[in-house]
Chains A and B, each alone.
Chain A
Amino acid sequence: MHTELRFWKSVEELRADSQAPAGSGRDCFAGQRAQTGPPPTATRRDFLTLAGFSVAAAAISVCSRGRVQKAIPFANQPEELTPGVANWYATTCGGCTSGCSLLVKTRDGRPIKVEGNSESSLFGTGTCAVGQATVLSLYDDARLKGPVWHGQPTSWAEIDARIEERLAAAMAGHKRVALLTRTVSGPATRKLIREWSSRPGVEHVTYDPMSCSALREATRASFGVDAIPHYRFAVANVIVGIEADFLGTWLSPVEFTHDYTSRRRPESGTLMSRHIQFESGVSLTGSNADIRAAIAPSQQGLVALGLLRRIARKHGATGVPDSSEASLDRRALDAAAEDLWRNRGQSLVVSGAHDVPTQMLVHATNALLGNIGRTIDVDHPSLQKQGDDGAVMRLVEDMSRGNLDVLIVYGVNPAYDYPQADRFIAAMERVPLTVSFADRLDETAARAHAVCPDHHFLEAWGDAEPVTSFYSLAQPTIAPLFDTRAAQESLLKWLGHSPDFYAYLRGFWHETLYPKQDRYATFDDFWDHSLHDGVFVLPPRTVSEHQFVGDWSEAATSVVREHAEVAAEESPDHYEVHLYETVGLRDGAHANNPWLQELPDPVTKVTWGNYAAIAPTVASRLGIDSGDVVAIEKGPIRVEVPVHVQPGQSANTISLAVGYGRTRVGRVGQGVGENVYPLAHVIAGTRRYFRTGVKMTRTGRLEPLAATQTHHSMEGRTIVKQTTLAAFVESPASRHEKQPELPTLWAERPSGEHRWGMAVDLSACTGCSACVTACQAENNVPVVGRDEVRRGREMHWIRIDRYYTGSEDNPDTVVQPMMCQHCNNAPCEPVCPVLATVHSSDGLNQQVYNRCVGTRYCENNCPYKVRRFNWFEYARNDRFDFNMNSPLGTMVLNPDVTVRSRGVMEKCSLCVQRIQAGKLEAERDGRPVADGDIKTACQQACPADAIVFGDLADPNSRVTRLSRSQRRYGVLEELGTRPGVTYLTKVKNV
C-alpha cells in the first residue's frame, strides 16, 4: 500500500511537482540558499591582504610555543568528587508544571545533561525537549545576580527588612496580601503556602498562563472532585482527542507519550490503540492520529455534544438536546462513537477545551462509557495544573480597585501572558508593594518594587506530587551560581520562621510521608532512599465508584447557545484564531533558551518566531504565501506575523503560537515573534484561547520563515514507509521483501568485535523532538540563529523529517528521525581527499575534525544529507551571541566532546563518547559490553522508546532483533549504502 502513497513535505512541493519536474527550485546543498543580506564584496585586494596576514600569522605561530595552561586542584577535595567522573543526582524537573522525575549528570560540579529517571513509574525513562533544555537555562546570562529594590541592586538583609516592615504593617492593619503563584504540586511548598494563606488577610491564587481551569471546574461539577483527573492512555484501546495536544503540551506530555506509544506497536502483543483527533491547527498529537478531522475552535463543544448524543443513544440514555451537525465531519464522529462504544471501559475521550460545559459533556461521555475508574482516575487526580481563572480575575479586579496592599508573584509573569496584560500592569501600579521571585527582570518583575530572585530548580531543594500519591524529590545539583535565594526560603523568612527550606522539607516528609510507609524503619533511611531514588509512591487508595452527578442537558444547552452566538457573527472574511503552545517554547517562560528557539516545530519545522498557520485554500483565495506578513485584528488588538501555509489546517481558522514576543527576557529571546496572548479572552469565567470574528489583511511586507522544511529534500524517493494495521496483519512481510543484495565494487569489510547500529520504530516515534535537544546538549551542537537557519545552515545532528501524504486539506503526517546512517559502504568516505571521514572497525562512520580541511565533498555525496558544515566559528563569536559566546553559557558544554572550529564538517557520531565510555567501563570491570549498557543521547531522551541502539554483531541484542523485524527497511537501501540504521515501517490503525 505504501508504494502508492506519494509523500510531500510542503504545499510548495506538492504544487511544484504537478507543474515542474522534481527538484526545481529546491536545494539539497545546505548553504547555497539565497543570501538575505547584501552580496559579498570581497575583492582581490582583500584576498591579498588576508593572504599576507595568514602568512605572517603562520610564521608567528611557528615561532611561538603553546599557551601556558594552569591546573588547579581542589584545596580540599570532597570525597565523592573525582575530576573527570560524572556524578548523578535525582531531582524533579521545573521546566513546566508536569513535575517529571529527572537524573542530572554533573561533571566537575556543573550540571551538563538531564535524563529521565528510570525509577519513576509514572514518566518512564524519557524526557521532553523543554526538560532537556532546562540545563541551559541554568547558565542564562539574563538571570539576576542578586535581589533588586526599585530597580537597584541591594542586599538580602536590606530587602528583607523593607518587605517585612510592609508585610507586618499590612497584616496588623488587616490589609490584604495576595500570593500569586504558578501551579505548585510540591506538598511541602503547598504546606508553606497554606501557612501563609491561613494568616488573616492573606489569600493564595494559582495562575496558569495556559489554563486548565475549565477542566477542573467541570470535574467538580461532574464528579464532585475539585481536581484534574489522571488520564491513563496505556489502558485505552480507543482515544478520542478534542483539541487536546496531549503528546506535545497538554498536562503531562512525557507521561502521556510513554503510555500512548506503548500501545502503538503492532507486534507488542497488546491490541494496537486507535486514535481519533478533532482539532483546528495541526498539533503534534493530531499529526499522530489515525483519523484526524479538522474543526473550527468554536466547534469543540459541538463535537463533544455529537459524541455524547451518539453514545447516549447506544446506552439508551435520553435528554441530550439536538444540535446542528451540518458543519461537522459526521463520518468521523460516527466512527469515533462506534469505536468508543465497542471499547467501553477501555476507551478515553479527552478535551483541551477551555469551557466548563464542553468538559462536562466529555466527562458525561466517559461516564456513560464506563471509563471512570479505568482509563480515567478521579481518585488519584493530577496536580499538574491547578490554576483558577475566576480567582485570578477577582484578584486583578481587587488590585485595580486598590484593595490589595501586598502582591507576591511567584513563578508567573502575568504582565506578559495575562490576556489583559495592560489591565494587570495598571492594577499592579495600584498595589503599594509588589514582590516578584522571578529569576530575571521579566515583564512583571521589571514593574515590581522588589525582586527576590529564586534559585534555578537545579540549585534548589523541593518536591513535587504530579499525580496524587506519586512523590518526587528535588535536590540541588550545584551550589547557587548567583546571590539568589529559594522562593520558599523567602516565604519562610517573611513568616518569621528559620529560612531553611531543606529542614522544612525534611520535616514535612518526616511528619507526613514517613508514617505512611512501612518499608524503612528509620526516617533517615527513608529519606536517604527517597532522595537517592528521587521518587516515592504511596500504595494506591481503593478506587471508589464515581457517578456522574452533573447536569449534562444544561451543559449541552449552553454549548448550543454559545455556538449559535458565534455562528451569528460568521462571515467569509472573518476568521477564528486558535492560540496554542508550541512544543519548544510552551508558554514562553523559556523564550531566552536558544536551544528551544532553534528547535524546529514538530509539524511546521519553523524555528525562531511564531506565524499565522492558515489553510492552503485560504492562502490561495487571498493570494498569499508562506512568509507574507499579515495583520490580524480583533477590535483594538492588532498583531503582524508572517503566514505559514499549513496543510490540514481547518479552513477559516488561523493558528497562532503563544510564548513569543517577549519584551524583557534576555538577548536571545527578546523580540522574537509576536505576543498573541492579548487575543485570548474570558467568557463565563474561564480564559478561552480562541477568538472569533477576526480580520486578516496582508501588509505587503515579506518576512521569510526560518524553516528547516524544504531543504534536505529527499527528491521524491521512498524514504518513509507506511502501511495500515489491516494490511500488516494480513501479510506482515509482504511489503518488505528484502531487496536483492546489490553488487558492490567494495571489498567486504572485515568485521570487528562490535557492529554498532540503531533501529528507529516509526510507529512509536511521535516527532516530539526531545532527541533533537538531547543531541544538542550531549554533543555541543552550536546554535546558529535565525538568519543562518534561513540559509539552511542549522547544525542539528539529528533532525526529524516530516512528510505529508494525501490531500492538502487533510493529509496524513509521518515523521522520521534522520541522522547519520553509518553506512557500511558510506558514500562520504571515498570522496574525502584527506581521509577525514573513515570507517571504524566497529561499524561507525567516523568524522575526524583535526584532519578535515572542509572541502564538503562528503556533504555533497551523502544521500541522506546529514552532514553539517561549520561555516563560522560558532563559539566565542559575537556574531553568534548565544550560549557559546559567554563564559557562563559555555559551562553547559560536555567536556568529553570537542567544540568544533570553523571550516570542519561534523555529523552524528552515534554518541561515540558514550560508546567509548561504555566499553571502558566494561573493560575495567573485566566483562563484555552488555546489551543496553550504552545508550545514545537521542535514545535515552526518547519518551516513546522509538530509538534503540546496540551491537548488531550480537545476535541477541535488542537492535539486532528489531533490525530483523518484519517491518524493517533501510532508507535508500537501493543505493547499496548498507546503512547501519534500520527503520520500522509506520503502521496506522485505520
Chain B
Amino acid sequence: MRAAVLLIAAGLATTGVAGALVARELSRVGVHQGYEPEQPIAFSHKLHAGESQIPCLYCHSGARTSRHAGIPALNVCMNCHSLLTRQTVEIEKLKEAVQRRQAIAWTKVHNLPDFVYFNHSQHVAGGVTCRSCHGPVETMERIRQDAPLTMGWCLECHRTRGPELQRQRQAALNRGHPDAPIPGLDCGKCHY
C-alpha cells in the first residue's frame, strides 16, 4: 500500500518536473542568446574593435544608412590588410578569397524572425550605441549573441528610453494629452 502511494507520488513528481522542463524549453523556442557559431575565418572582434579600436561603423557602415548594418565586403578588409605585413593562416584565407574574388559565407549570428522589421540606421541616428544591443563586442574573440533579442527585450528599451519617445511624450504633453499612446510601442512600428 505504502509502496503504491510512493509510486504514485513519484510518478506525479516526475510528470511535474518533466512538465516544468518542457515549459521552460518552450519559452526559449527561437531565443538564441549566447549563440556563438564557428565562422569560416576566425575573425576576432577583440583584436579589431578592442585592441585596434577600429570604430564599429568603419566596417559596418550600412548601419548609418540602411536597415542592415552589413558585413564588410572584402575590399573593406583590404583597405588595411593590403598595407599590413603580418600574415596568419586566417589572413591567408581572406587574401585567397580576394584573389579568387569569391565572397565569404559568414554564419549569421543575430537573426530576427521574418515578420519583424528592424532598421539599424533608425537606431544609430537616434543615438543608441551598438553595445546596447550587441554587448561588449570588443571583448569577444568570436562574435556571440549577447542579448535575447526577444520582443519583450526590445520593448523594455522602447518603453523607457529613446529620443523619439521623449519627443513624442513632450509633444503629447504640449497638446494636452499626457496619456497619449507612444508610437514606438505600436505593433505596426515593427510588424508589417
State the A residues within 8 Å of B (CB): 61-63, 65-66, 68-77, 82-85, 750-753, 838, 840-842, 844, 846, 848-851, 896-899, 909, 912-913, 916, 920, 923-924
Contact = CB atoms under 8 A, between A and B. Distances in A.
Interface string B55-97: 0000001100111101111111000000000000000000001
B103 A70 contact: no
Given A71-B108, A84-B67, 20 more contacts: A69-B111, A70-B105, A74-B75, A75-B102, A76-B73, A82-B65, A83-B70, A85-B62, A750-B172, A752-B183, A753-B171, A840-B189, A849-B191, A850-B115, A896-B117, A897-B192, A899-B114, A909-B188, A912-B192, A916-B189
Contact of A752 (B107, B115, B180, B187): B180
Interface in B157-179: 164, 168, 171-172, 175, 177, 179
B70 A76 contact: no
Interface string B98-128: 1001111111100101110101011001100
11 contacts: A69-B108, A70-B105, A70-B106, A71-B71, A72-B105, A74-B73, A84-B67, A751-B180, A752-B168, A850-B115, A920-B121
B74 A75 contact: yes
B180 A62 contact: no
B25 A62 contact: yes
Contacts of B117: 896, 913, 916
B192 A753 contact: no
A751 B192 CA distance: 22
A463 to B, nearest CB: 32
A895 to B, nearest CB: 9
Given A844-B188, A898-B115, A752 B181 contact: yes
Interface stretch (B26-34, B46-54, B133-141): B26-34
A69 B145 CA distance: 14
B68 A66 contact: no
Contacts of A844: 186, 188
Given A62-B29, A70-B106, A73-B103, A83 B68 contact: yes
Nearest to B22: A62
A850 B113 contact: yes
A826 B2 CA distance: 62
Contact of B125 (A66, A848, A916, A923): A923
B168 A68 contact: no
A62 B125 CA distance: 38
Interface of B: 22, 25-26, 29-30, 32, 37, 61-62, 65-68, 70-76, 97-98, 101-108, 111, 113-115, 117, 119, 121-122, 125-126, 164, 168, 171-172, 175, 177, 179-183, 185-189, 191-192
A844 to B, nearest CB: 6
B104 A61 contact: no
Nearest to A754: B183
Nearest to A837: B187
Ranked nearest first, the 9 interchain pairs of A and B with the lowest CB-CB distance are A77-B73, A84-B66, A841-B181, A846-B188, A74-B73, A840-B186, A84-B68, A69-B108, A71-B108
Contacts of A920: 119, 121-122
B168 to A, nearest CB: 6
Nearest to A74: B73
A72 B73 contact: no
Contacts of A72: 103-106
A899 B29 CA distance: 21
Contacts of B125: 923-924
B177 A751 contact: yes
Contacts of A83: 62, 66, 68, 70
Nearest to B189: A916
Contacts of B68: 83-84
A73 B29 contact: no
B182 A850 contact: no
A753 B168 contact: yes
Nearest to B124: A924
A782 B140 CA distance: 43
B180 A841 contact: yes
B116 to A, nearest CB: 8
B144 to A, nearest CB: 15
A68 B106 CA distance: 10
B111 to A, nearest CB: 6
B27 to A, nearest CB: 10
Name the residue in B30, B171, B181 with the highest tally of chain A Cβ atoms < 10 Å from its Cβ: B181
Contacts of B104: 72-73
Contacts of B181: 750, 752, 840-841
B99 to A, nearest CB: 10
Contact of A68 (B97, B107, B115, B187): B107
A75 B98 contact: yes
A850 to B, nearest CB: 5
A546 B73 CA distance: 63
B188 A912 contact: yes
Given A69-B108, A70-B107, A750-B181, A913 B32 contact: no
B24 to A, nearest CB: 10
A75 B70 CA distance: 13
Contacts of A71: 71, 105-108
Contacts of B172: 750, 752-753
B106 A750 contact: no
A76 B73 CA distance: 6
